[in-house]
């Protein structure tokens, strides 16, 4: 994380100087920040969150910082503050059912990793802030769309796993009724 990323995040703290001092003493230290002032956060269960993160990244869609809480098994996507209406609107427009999520805004708190978390820390940045994110009205749209697409993809994968619990079970229907005489 860059110095400008630290400044932007710490500005959301009730006491920005105390937040920066904590991170100066221990750059791995997690810190609780108020949501709704500079950012909102959408959290989902880890499996859907990791798939969504991957889809956003590989498709080149706009998205901001992303945090992972290993213990709670949740992924948090940072949006601009006051994005809830746009996010909810686009989530409702999608054909599929949205995954369960929590929308953190005014009155909520999110715990973020320090600027330099290490492997094995409870909180990790999947995508750390490098500066104050530029306002982009497409971020909540992209997140809503990819959350539903990712949840549907994972549900489909799960249904195939139940239907075909092994490679042999997957291949067997294709081999039935074919000649196997190698003579």
pLDDT in tens, 92-128: 998 888 999 999 999 999 999 999 999 899 999 999 9
How buried is residue 69: exposed, middle or buried, by Cβ count under 10 Å (0-12/13-18/19+)? buried
Residue 73 has which token pair? 């098994």
Biggest alpha carbon–alpha carbon distance for the chain: 81
pLDDT for residue 145 is more than 60? yes
Q: What is the pLDDT of residue 166?
A: 72
Q: What is the pLDDT of residue 177?
A: 54
- The Cα–Cα gap between 139 and 83 comes to 9
- pLDDT category of residue 23 using cuts at 50, 70 and 90: very high
Selection from 14, 109, 13, 25 nearest residue 67 by Cα: 109
- The Cα–Cα gap between 21 and 28 comes to 12
Q: What is the pLDDT of residue 50?
A: 98
- The mean pLDDT value for 134-139 works out to 86
């Amino acid at each position: 994380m860059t110095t400008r990323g630290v400044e932007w995040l710490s500005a959301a703290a009730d006491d920005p100087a105390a937040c920066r001092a904590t991170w100066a003493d221990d750059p791995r230290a997690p810190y609780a920040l108020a949501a709704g002032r500079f950012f909102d956060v959408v959290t989902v269960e880890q499996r859907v969150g990791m798939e969504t993160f991957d889809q956003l990244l590989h498709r080149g869609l706009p998205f901001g910082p992303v945090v992972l809480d290993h213990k709670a098994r949740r992924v948090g996507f940072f949006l601009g503050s006051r994005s809830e209406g746009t996010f909810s609107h686009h989530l409702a427009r999608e054909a599929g059912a949205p995954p369960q999520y929590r929308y953190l805004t005014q009155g909520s708190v999110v715990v973020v990793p320090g600027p330099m978390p290490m492997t094995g820390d409870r909180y990790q940045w999947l995508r750390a802030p490098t500066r104050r994110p530029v306002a982009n009205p497409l971020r909540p749209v992209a997140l809503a769309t990819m959350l539903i697409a990712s949840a549907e993809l994972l549900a489909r994968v799960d249904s195939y796993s139940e239907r075909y619990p092994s490679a042999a079970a997957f291949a067997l229907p294709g081999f039935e009724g074919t000649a196997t005489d190698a003579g």
